[in-house]
Amino acid sequence: MVDLSKHFSSLAVSGVQSLTPYEPGKPIADLEREYGISNIIKLASNENPLGPSKKALEACQQNISSLELYPDGNGFALKSTLAKKHGVDMSCITLGNGSNDILEFVARVFLAPGFNAVFSKHAFAVYPLVSMAVGADLHIAEPNLSQSDMPYGHNLKNMRKQVDEQTRVIFIANPNNPTGTWIDDKSLESFIKDIPDNIIIVLDEAYVEYVSDSNYPNSIPWIEKYPNLLITRTFSKVYGLAGLRIGYSVSHPDLANLLNRVRQPFNTNSLAQAAAIAAIDDVDHLNKSIESNAKGLVQLSNAFDEMDLEYIPSVGNFISFKTALSGEAVYENMLRAGIIIRPISNYSLKDYLRVTIGAEEHNTRFLNALKDMPGVLK
């Protein structure tokens, strides 16, 4: 009998043959079904505990009666709103089904067998996925050392050493997931200046709204100086619209034009477009989300300090930590307590786990479960 798994695998292109599918945080329904428990909290996927704004929900409700119609394939209203927000021309905006969609566009347009993509060792898992899927090589830079100010974060000198004549894309997450580390404006711009203009620099700013440090880059104006720079952002995190999958990029119009050539027709749906426009307008909800996250980050960081647990200082809406137990054991015990967090050994951070900053009561429940877990403390 033919082994179909091997048969079909042999038919796939070489890049896909060696891929491992992206694994998201465990859904609540899966945990309910597998363990037969209820009252579950999910702190695994960096979702906003406040949810979407009321304005965004109202916008969805207003548009739900027109679902028989295709959405605006160009996303004119949303692109116009984003262009006004960022002070750029509409031609600089590309819409995506989440910012992941944009990352795939970049790979399809600029990468191929014989070319390579550069990124940091502990960077977002989608960078190698989209690069390998089109047959490109991976040039992975060693990160900062564990004792540095930004432990396990991007080391720009090491990244620059990975750039060669076959490099076509550099992926930089700022802040980075899952480490929560970030790069200051002077260091980042100096790096961008030094990169040849035939290499596309993707600056992934999915968590940008959470960063309050004055040295964090205001990157959008840089696209005028550096036409090879492409900035991605999302409505999945601080805006609480992860379920609608809506993101975008800001770039030179000629770059945006190329991305739109491979963008699928109607890749963003009508409810997502309407909700995103409303979410941008709801500044009060945005500020509440940022404030809630800042308090939760302090709550978890202080608790980890008190427990003498190793963790990576973060500016995102998550924090990665390590205990005396194996990461898999902590993860499994948390599941049995009805709490979903995220092991990140697949990011080459053995025994580290990432926990999303939740509502205060969810953070407290997580911390109590951690403190009560035998073997967690040294």
pLDDT tens across 92-105, in order?
999 999 999 999 99
User: Are the CB atoms for 218 and 189 separated by under 8 Å?
Assistant: no
Whether 4 has a pLDDT exceeding 90, the answer reads no
**In this predicted structure, what is the pLDDT of residue 309?**
96
Of the pLDDT bands very low, low, confident and very high (cuts 50, 70, 90), residue 19 is: low
**In this predicted structure, what is the pLDDT of residue 227?**
97
Whether 114 has a pLDDT exceeding 80, the answer reads yes
- The alpha carbon of residue 354 and the mean position of all alpha carbons in its chain are separated, in whole angstroms, by 13
**In this predicted structure, what is the pLDDT of residue 81?**
98
**In this predicted structure, what is the pLDDT of residue 36?**
87
Of 3-17, 66-80, 193-207, the poorest mean pLDDT is in 3-17
**In this predicted structure, what is the pLDDT of residue 166?**
98
CATH code linked to domain 9-51+284-371: 3.90.1150.10
Of the pLDDT bands very low, low, confident and very high (cuts 50, 70, 90), residue 28 is: confident
Who wins on pLDDT, 12 or 236?
236
Place of tokens 């502990």: 122
Whether 6 has a pLDDT exceeding 80, the answer reads no
Q: What residues does each domain of the chain span? A: 9-51+284-371, 56-281
Percent of the chain with pLDDT over 90: 89
Q: State the pTM of this model.
A: 0.94
Residue 154: how many CB atoms within 10 A of its CB?
A: 29
User: Are the CB atoms for 8 and 129 separated by under 8 Å?
Assistant: no
Whether 1 has a pLDDT exceeding 80, the answer reads no
Whether 378 has a pLDDT exceeding 80, the answer reads no
Nearest-5° Cα angle at 354, 349 to 358: 170
Place of tokens 């968590």: 207
**In this predicted structure, what is the pLDDT of residue 232?**
98
Of the pLDDT bands very low, low, confident and very high (cuts 50, 70, 90), residue 35 is: confident
What are 237-264's pLDDT values in tens digits?
A: 999 999 999 999 999 999 999 999 999 9
The domains spanning 9-51+284-371 and 56-281 adopt the same CATH topology: no
Whether 128 has a pLDDT exceeding 80, the answer reads yes
Who wins on pLDDT, 31 or 227?
227
**In this predicted structure, what is the pLDDT of residue 9?**
66
Q: If you average pLDDT over every residue of the chain, what do you get?
A: 94
End-to-end CA distance of the chain: 53
Angstrom distance (rounded) from CA 275 to CA 243: 11
What are 336-347's pLDDT values in tens digits?
A: 999 999 999 989
Of the pLDDT bands very low, low, confident and very high (cuts 50, 70, 90), residue 115 is: very high
**In this predicted structure, what is the pLDDT of residue 8?**
62
Whether 307 has a pLDDT exceeding 80, the answer reads yes
Angstrom distance (rounded) from CA 272 to CA 243: 9
* Ramachandran angles phi, psi of 47, nearest 5°: -90, 155
What are 171-211's pLDDT values in tens digits?
A: 999 999 999 999 999 999 999 999 999 999 999 999 999 99
CATH class of segment(s) 56-281? alpha beta
**Strand, helix or coil for residue 342:** strand
**In this predicted structure, what is the pLDDT of residue 5?**
64
User: Are the CB atoms for 243 and 216 separated by under 8 Å?
Assistant: no
What are 50-61's pLDDT values in tens digits?
A: 999 999 999 999
